């Protein structure tokens, strides 16, 4: 009996140490605040990975978004993250002003996703109708050194202003900014997100708002990766006209520490699960495979390159 037990134990050990045996892999999806767009899309991606990648356990982490996400990836504390293109460029260059003390050299791109629209919304009673009207008023610009806050700096600079021109500057996440506006404690908020972001939809249904335009001439002063776009009429309650603004492309990013096989699967499942992503948030409808391999300031992960070559997007 003893010899049989030993033989069985040795056989079991051989199975678990065999080259074909797969250890469980962990994917931490780094998103943003729960009232933004990154979070619901991240939850959808986490579910897709958990359901379709064998031996994978997923977790979705709410964060302060772009800048924090990229730092966490560099530290090996996440496997895939959402980020704005300008934050990604700053991380790759080690832009200290943007919150990066050194070049984040482990970053690798999975692919381009949807554009973030710079959405400046004021309460109607504040009287704010143009960028110039923000002078002397209170404005929330997003969490400190978040992608949204970096966008805020760029837009105001192009309009010839700085934070010193504001009556008061709040560094708050989307939902908290909206709560202050509902309570008449804040005049305006700048939110960099996909169209139809939950926080602004919530605000527009309870408060009369003005969506402030960012003219094309202002956007052109900033230049790439900013582009001029329109917020279509009726995106928010009470917004009856198209409003010009700026947009920046978002990216899904991983780390060089992630294996080629896992990065391949993560890339493939994002771009072959677009209906599920569209169901999780309207911004998911704007994710296109055709543009996935374009425009990133950071190299694509070899696993992503393998997928794009299969699809004929890279030769």
Pairing of strands 80-84, 138-140: unpaired
Query: What was the pLDDT predicted at 35?
Result: 83
Query: What was the pLDDT predicted at 284?
Result: 94
Q: How far apart are CA 133 and CA 19, in angstroms?
A: 66
Counting as low any pLDDT under 70, the low residues of the chain are 1-22
Q: How far apart are CA 139 and CA 168, in angstroms?
A: 6
Query: What was the pLDDT predicted at 23?
Result: 79
Q: Assess contact for 45 and 270: CB atoms under 8 A.
A: yes
Q: Residue-wise over 71-107: b if at least 16 C-beta within 10 A, else e? A: bbbbeeebbbbbbbbbbbbbbbeebeebbbeeebeeb
Q: How far apart are CA 280 and CA 193, in angstroms?
A: 15
134-177 pLDDT tens trace: 999 999 999 887 889 999 999 999 999 999 999 999 999 899 99
Query: What was the pLDDT predicted at 252?
Result: 98
Query: What was the pLDDT predicted at 2?
Result: 46
What Cα–Cα distance (Å) separates residue 44 from each residue in 116, 147, 249, 257? 18, 22, 20, 23
Would you call 247 exposed, middle or buried from its count of C-beta atoms within 10 A (0-12, 13-18, 19+)? buried
Query: What was the pLDDT predicted at 22?
Result: 59
Q: Set out the domains of the chain in order of their start, with CATH numbers.
A: 23-113+250-310 (3.40.190.10), 116-248 (3.40.190.10)
Which helix (H) or strand (E) segment holds residue 1: the answer is none
Query: What was the pLDDT predicted at 131?
Result: 98
């Amino acid at each position: 009996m003893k010899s049989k037990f030993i033989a069985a134990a040795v056989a079991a050990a051989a199975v678990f140490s065999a080259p074909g045996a797969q250890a469980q892999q962990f994917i931490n999806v780094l998103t943003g605040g729960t009232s933004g767009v990154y979070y619901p899309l991240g939850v959808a991606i986490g579910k897709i990975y958990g359901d379709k990648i064998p031996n994978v356990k997923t977790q979705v982490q709410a964060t302060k978004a772009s800048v924090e996400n990229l730092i966490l990836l560099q530290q090996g504390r996440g496997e895939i993250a959402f980020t704005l293109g300008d934050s990604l460029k700053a991380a790759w260059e080690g832009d200290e002003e943007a919150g990066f003390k050194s070049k984040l050299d482990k970053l690798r791109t999975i692919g381009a996703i949807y554009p973030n629209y710079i959405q400046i919304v004021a309460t109607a009673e504040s009287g704010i109708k143009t960028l110039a009207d923000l002078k002397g008023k209170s404005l929330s610009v997003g969490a400190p050194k978040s992608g949204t806050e970096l966008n805020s700096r760029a837009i105001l600079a192009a309009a010839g202003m700085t934070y010193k021109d504001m009556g008061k500057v709040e560094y708050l996440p989307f939902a908290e900014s909206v709560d202050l506006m509902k309570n008449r404690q804040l005049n305006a908020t700048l939110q960099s997100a996909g169209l139809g972001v939950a926080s602004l939809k919530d605000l527009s249904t309870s408060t009369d708002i003005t969506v402030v335009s960012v003219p094309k001439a202002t956007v052109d002063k900033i230049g790439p990766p900013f582009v001029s776009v329109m917020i279509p009429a009726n995106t928010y309650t009470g917004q009856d006209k198209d409003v010009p603004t700026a947009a920046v492309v978002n990216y899904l990013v991983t780390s060089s520490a992630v294996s080629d096989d896992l990065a391949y699967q993560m890339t493939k499942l994002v771009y072959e699960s677009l209906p599920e992503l569209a169901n999780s948030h309207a911004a998911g409808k704007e994710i296109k495979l055709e543009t996935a391999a374009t425009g990133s300031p950071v190299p694509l992960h070899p696993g992503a390159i393998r997928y794009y070559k299969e699809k004929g997007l890279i030769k």
